[in-house]
Amino acid sequence: MLIGGWGKYPLVEATLVQPVSSDQVRAVFSGNSSFCGIPRGLGRSYGDSSLAQNIVGLGRLNRFQAFDHKTGLLTCDAGVSFADILDTFIPRGWFPSVTPGTKHVSVGGAIASDVHGKNHHLKGSFCDHLISFSIMLGSGDIVSCSPSENDDLFRATCGGMGLTGIILDATFHLQKVKSSFIDETTYKAANLKECLELFETYCDADYSVAWIDCLQQGESLGRSLLMLGKHNEDAGYLDNSKSGPSIPFNFPSFVLNKYSVSLFNSLYYAKVRSSPQERRVHYGPYFYPLDGIQNWNKLYGANGFVQYQFAIPRDAGLSGMTHILEKIAASGAGSFLSVLKAFGKGNDNLLSFPFDGYTLALDFKVSRKTFDLLDELDVIVADYGGRVYLTKDARMSEEIFKKGYPRWEEFQGIREKYGAKEVFSSLQSKRLGLN
């Protein structure tokens, strides 16, 4: 069958198996001694990190196993989604300690990507709240990993893009909350410099994220809306899980262009008339705004899109982001979605993406012009000591990857130690020289 990531680029003919138990996962290996492939959660990684000739889909391993109502400690199968967690535990007063920008990701995928959210500057990545997980090695053996048990495999698996084994279940902390609402405060920034100053001024905000108009130039370069958030204390719990509108078909590729994106950006920026603007909003629109539009990836047309997310060090934030935004604005390849966040200190996981600095995520429809632009941006990011996010990547070169992730050789050594190199690989790992 033909399978792709959320960006619908690239597509690959693959054999997909979807086991419902660890015994069935093991059977994939015992029945095929030459198996070589990759585990996959809910398919929300954008590029080719979960694509291979053989794919083990884990979406049916989706049971809750245990929960401690006093500590918020949850144990569940790797195929449990963040949507499952929210639907079950928000009414009980619990929320993920760290959540990415969509709730339609699995716990196993969150570990493999070591996902981050709008509170990385305070809470770190998802795996910083991970107590332990069970993983099936290429031999079929199941081992337990934690920061103190098989710690080398733990650090390689967290952020390791599924290349060390198949995560079966995990235990991690949820945080206590008192309502399903967020108190949001939005600040209007006239340019990038003002936006970064606002990030620093409100560095103690529970959550922070900025939308950026990436087509502006000159004194308006990087004009932004910075949205701060904190969990409301007294508004109670409300189910807001009803489905939103759905994109029924792939839009023609010409619909998203610099003119339509520029118009959208102008309207979006103008919607905030006074600064600051305060409102109470359900957690869904704040954390997962695009989840309210089903099949939104069809907006980019049948050829798909690539998301480009990079991070650069804090001390290079203004100069590096300015350089990159100038390059994007001059190209005219405006991104419909441009999201800026502040990172705190990184962790010790070998291929984890975040480190102390800033990260910008942008979406571009697939074209030769886009790939040429991103090749240029890669060089700029590398020159500033940055890196590109593997979970969003579909086209980075091996050279750029190895510059951005200097511990890749240590990662390979651990894969070899646990017999993973011969069994687990993806289109991405082959492209990046990890096979």
Per-residue pLDDT of 83-131, as tens digits, reads: 999 999 999 999 999 999 999 999 999 999 999 999 999 999 999 999 9
Please check the confidence at residue 306 and state whether its pLDDT lies above 80.
yes
Which pLDDT does position 262 carry in this prediction? Answer: 84
Of 350, 341, 415, which is closest to residue 163 (Cα–Cα)? 415
CA angle 176, 179, 184 (to 5 degrees): 105
Which pLDDT does position 31 carry in this prediction? Answer: 63
In contact, 311 and 387? CB cutoff 8 Å = yes
Rounded CA-CA distance 341/361 in Å is 9
Arithmetic mean of pLDDT, 367-390: 97
Which pLDDT does position 32 carry in this prediction? Answer: 65
In contact, 329 and 273? CB cutoff 8 Å = no
In contact, 421 and 435? CB cutoff 8 Å = yes
What amino acid occupies position 26?
R
Per-residue pLDDT of 312-358, as tens digits, reads: 999 999 999 999 999 999 998 878 789 999 999 999 999 999 999 99
What amino acid occupies position 140?
G
Per-residue pLDDT of 174-215, as tens digits, reads: 999 999 999 999 999 999 999 999 999 999 999 999 999 998
Backbone angles phi, psi at 172, to 5 degrees: -155, 165
- Please state, as a whole number, how many other Cβ atoms lie within 10 Å of the Cβ of residue 238: 13
Arithmetic mean of pLDDT, 279-305: 93
In contact, 84 and 96? CB cutoff 8 Å = no
Q: Which residues contact 389 (CB under 8 A, 6 or more apart)?
A: 309, 310, 311, 353, 359, 361
119-128 burial, b at 16+ Cβ within 10 Å, e below that, comes to: bbbebbbbbb
Per-residue pLDDT of 5-41, as tens digits, reads: 999 999 999 999 999 999 999 888 766 667 899 999 9
358 vs 244, higher pLDDT: 358
- Dump the DSSP string for 228-276: EEEE-SSSB---------B--SPPPTTSSSHHHHHHHHHHHHHT--SSS
Please check the confidence at residue 273 and state whether its pLDDT lies above 90.
no
Arithmetic mean of pLDDT, 246-266: 85
Q: Of the given ranges (121-130, 138-147, 232-241), which has the lowest mean pLDDT?
A: 232-241
Banded pLDDT at 266 (limits 50, 70, 90): confident
Largest interatomic CA distance in the chain: 64
Please check the confidence at residue 66 and state whether its pLDDT lies above 90.
yes
Which pLDDT does position 107 carry in this prediction? Answer: 98
Of 173, 154, 170, 142, which is closest to residue 76 (Cα–Cα)? 170
What sign has the CA pseudo-torsion 163, 165, 166, 171? negative
Per-residue pLDDT of 156-169, as tens digits, reads: 999 999 999 999 99
What value does the mean pLDDT of the chain take? 95
